[in-house]
Amino acid sequence: MMNVFDGIRTMLAVRNYRTEKIPAEVVTRIVEAGRLTGSSRNQQQWDFIGSPAI
């Protein structure tokens, strides 16, 4: 596992993004993984927007 110093030192700023669409199944898995993480006081006040325009 990477320690904090190595993570900061090797961080990259991305300025160019791919134009290809991410499959809906992949987006669903990513959102589900994020939803399962902890939140402050377990409030879980999530708002997900599924618009490709954003």
For residues 2-28, give the mean pLDDT: 86
15 falls within a domain: yes
Number of domains in the chain: 1
48 falls within a domain: no
- pLDDT exceeds cutoff 90 at 4: no
Q: What are phi and psi of 44, to 5 degrees?
A: 50, 50
pLDDT of residue 1: 66
pLDDT of residue 17: 84
pTM reported for the whole predicted model? 0.55
Contacts of 34 (CB under 8 A, 6+ apart): 46
For residue 52, name the pLDDT band (cuts at 50, 70, 90): confident
50 falls within a domain: no
- pLDDT exceeds cutoff 80 at 26: yes
Q: Which domain holds residue 36?
A: 4-42
Q: Find the angle CA(51)-CA(15)-CA(3) to the nearest 5 degrees.
A: 100
